[in-house]
Structure 1
Amino acid sequence: MIRDAARMQALLADLRQFVLNTCIPLEADIDRNDVIPEPVVDAMRQLGLFGHSIPEAYGGAGLTSEELTLVNIEVSQAATVFRARFGGNTGIASESLVVDGTEAQKTRYLPRLASGELTGCFALTEPEAGSDATSLLTSARRDGDHYVLNGSKCFITNAPVADLFTVFARTDSDTPGAHGISAFLVERGTPGISTGEPERKMGQHGSPVGDVYLQDCRVSATAIVGGQPGVGFKTAMKALNKQRINLAGLCIGPAIRLVDEMVRYASQRRQFGKPIADYQLVQQMIADSNTDIHAARALVLETARRRDNGEDVTMEASMCKLFASEMCGRVADRAVQIFGGSGYMARTVAERFYRDVRLFRLYEGTTQIHQLNIAKRTMQAREGVLGQVG
């Protein structure tokens, strides 16, 4: 749902200028130095990028799912690290608060997340709890009006620079699986919480990822998101359901950029006396890539609109994430192929994006996990229909 078409077009135009004039010229340097310059982060704050999905009542823009999809497609046409820097605040790191936080929690944190004063992160994954997030071992022991947290998290985006951690821990050790998991809001500086050094990664250089350590970290019982223990996993799934649509949009932007780069390179690169763009097998890769982009965009925008209408799009969100992330990987591979030997060199956008987008098929649920989820829901739906017929 787009609430104001003219206002939306103006926002997208501003973002396009920021991407073209500020972000793209810095891509190679950031990939090499593994850090986004602080003046760029300040510019993101000034543009309001940290608060896109946070409700207007708390200082954000309150974008709808469709509006946020269009924004994500636009900003991700630059290297994905730019969006990753503010994306937690406008996505997974704030959504738990938006959907389930108490009024006091929202008032305390959402305006500061929206302004970019605070950087948030979503601390769910553990060494033994990745796709099976319900097997997490981080514990939260009740002690009077407080909880004492112990455990560790890994692969947490923005952990090294985060100010606010949404930490998932087991408050009921006698209850296995999803039940008994609670979400806690833990501020940096709280005794007992610390973060490790940023990981060295295949791609997305400039987006810090690291471990979170909790050692007798004592927090008030009021730090539980929503104030109710034992429902943290439901909160996580609500946040992830929206984030999967966001991430699908973030897969479309790089593919658009890569097709532009393919066309530009193929038009300039000459072999056997003519541009390689004249060869039909090169044209096929460009045509397949552009078709993939249009299919992904149509699927994601339709799902976003349905979510805005209040429909349950759990399965469709999985479809978006599955299809768009795999699509982006295919396009990136074709880009390297069209660039040829140059596409394997670190000086080209094809090589950088090939590394950057590989992560899309892993986080927010691997391709294989989404395939299982989609199959399960499809079979359940068919069984229901057959049962009614019988």
Structure 2
Amino acid sequence: MKLLVTGGAGFIGSAVVRQAIRDGHSVINLDALTYAACLDNVASVADDARYTFVHADIRDRAALDEVFATHAPDAVMHLAAESHVDRSIDGPGAFIDTNVMGTYTLLEAARTYWVSEGRPDRFRFHHISTDEVFGSLGATGQFTETTPYDPRSPYSASKAASDHLVRAWAETYGLPVVLTNCSNNYGPFHFPEKLVPVVILNALASKPIPVYGSGENVRDWLYVEDHADALLTVLQKGRVNRSYNIGGENEVRNIDLVRMICAILDEKRPKSAPYADQITFVSDRPGHDLRYAIDPTRIASELGWRPSVTLQKGLEKTVQWYLDNEPWWRALQDRAGVGERLGTKS
């Protein structure tokens, strides 16, 4: 297939680009190269004849129309988004602009192209979203594809809005769509403001390792390369106008995740004191959701997909990647907001 991937220089998007090229697809990577994007993420495929990079913004309709007309993709995989909850608390406007208006603009460009091509049945618009749109769980239960939406942060609200737009374009205009909602991702090329890389890099720098509140918040962790594989599976095998929840089947409290990373670092790069001694509890995030958990029954039963990487193995691979790729993360540490505590303005 010929895939138009938006946000393909970001964390999850770049994993999709690399996996798609490995699988034999052609990829047009459209990215605005905002603060969290990095073309080094796709350096391994940059010289492949099947790969094309386009520097453009999903809010730029003229640029999108030109991309569709020039490259005639078989499918869109829409990953471009503002995604950091703490940043959304401090500056929600950028999230509404990119995640809502950007998705609207992309949907209209895709619809125009699809109609001009005679509404081909093979075309797909795959919208990639998050489990955070479902809100917060208590101690039990899991999110399913029919869980009511209940977003609690500007980020999750903007993603919920974009999900609703995609469904509306499917129902109103017949655009063939698939949607996915994933749990927390981690792995190589993770931008160094998110929890897992913050723990690794602060530990290595002998800085305090910040844990929000008491660390009791629970997340389901999905290795990013597993996620990329799942997304391509849904694109090719998923039913039109259907959503699929993608989870890692790795539920753990934040404090336990941090301790796991510290223990791995103790083995891989030991020092005089355990890295866990650097753990520091800090004021909680405003409106911090207690627990997310994914019920993966639909994607497993309908498409035969399950994650292949356990949390322990994934964290070991992730820690080793950061140890082996210091030039990559060093180059990103001067970007705005990296290394700062964000999300406290409320």
Flag whether TM exceeds 0.5 (same fold): no
TM-score, scaled relative to structure 1 = 0.24
Structure with higher helix content = 1
